Structure 1
């Protein structure tokens, strides 16, 4: 399998970390939807990151759908999906909030970095920022109420999505979500970033490297 996309995308990084936690081998190709648009279009005409080239050549896209496919592998080390219905419900709640936080923070980045300053629509940015804060408040409340054991063998889909989203937010739009107001998310992120699967796929422009390298 080949994972296509840059690790500065929280969606690509979410998949890269999760595939490692699942114990599934893959090659990472850091192709940018902006700088390498034509190359990406040859891989996937939709030009959507992440994209996953399966062993048979079929290309899948969307982080959640890619991870659903990855969970079907009998050779995986473990599952990131809770088996218990109550735990699954809670985990899906976290995934939903984390992906909403990713979406809104990415929208803010695009609005500020890609749109000409004279065309930035302040009411839209304010609305999106409010949605981002609401998602982070929900995650903070959840993890403050029930802290998790942060280990390679215990993280769930929701934990990975949350940790990746929070790191992205604090790196890209820290002024939108003051870190000191979210101690539970800060603690989760700090612990997760120490894990080999996170260290092997650091946020940025690099390539997933062998764990421990």
Structure 2
């Protein structure tokens, strides 16, 4: 398999870590949607990362769909029970809010880095910032109740999203605001699967 995209994308990184968790050998090609736009167009006309090229040369996009594919064909899910379903539902809840946090963080980064300051629309920035904090507060509250497995899709998504947000938006989020998220992420980032896929 070939995973395409830069590891500074939280979406690419969560797929890369999950591939490691499943023990799937893959080639990583750090192709940028910005500096390598034309090259990426030839692989994926939508110019979207992550892009996964499967062993039978199918091109998959969208981190959630890629992870669903990996889980279905390479994962080892236990037989469903009521307890398993409850845990799965909680993981879906946490994953959804982690992806929302990712999305809002990426929107803010793009707005602040790509749009000239004079053309930035402050009411929209305020709205997205509020949504970002809403997602992180929901995750903070959820982690106060219990932590998911760090190597589950939810655990990977939370840690990758927080590492990205903290790195890219240090003036917007702080560790003091979200200590549970911070503590969870610091522990997750020490796992071999995370260390093998550094944020770069």
Same fold (TM over 0.5): yes
1:92 aligns to 2:92 (yes or no): yes
- Per the alignment, residue 199 of structure 1 pairs with 195
Shift of residue 91, structure 1, vs aligned partner: 0.3
- In 2, the alpha carbon distance for the partners of 1:120 and 1:37 equals 24
Range with greater deviation from structure 2 (17-26 or 130-139): 17-26
- Per the alignment, residue 132 of structure 2 pairs with 132
Shift of residue 149, structure 1, vs aligned partner: 5.5
- Structure 2 regions of 5+ residues with no counterpart? none
Q: Give the helix-richer structure, 1 or 2.
A: 2
SS of equivalent to 2:73:
coil
Number of aligned pairs? 197
SS of equivalent to 2:52:
strand
TM-score (norm 1): 0.89
- Per the alignment, residue 104 of structure 2 pairs with 104
- Per the alignment, residue 15 of structure 2 pairs with 15
Q: Check whether the contact 1:7–1:13 (CA below 8 A) recurs between aligned residues.
A: yes
Q: Check whether the contact 2:149–2:155 (CA below 8 A) recurs between aligned residues.
A: no
1:184 aligns to 2:168 (yes or no): no
- In 2, the alpha carbon distance for the partners of 1:149 and 1:89 equals 14
Please list the CA deviations of residues 35-94 of structure 1 after superposition, one character each: whole Å capped at 9, or x if unmatched.
Answer: 0000100110110000001111110000000011111224x4x459x8711001100000
- Equivalent runs, 1:108-187 vs 2, <5 Å: 108-148=108-148, 150=150, 155-187=151-183
SS of equivalent to 2:31:
coil
- In 2, the alpha carbon distance for the partners of 1:14 and 1:58 equals 20
RMSD (Å) for aligned C-alpha atoms: 1.5
- In 2, the alpha carbon distance for the partners of 1:174 and 1:137 equals 16
- Quickly say closer, same or farther: Cα 1:79–1:39, change in 2 above 3 A: farther
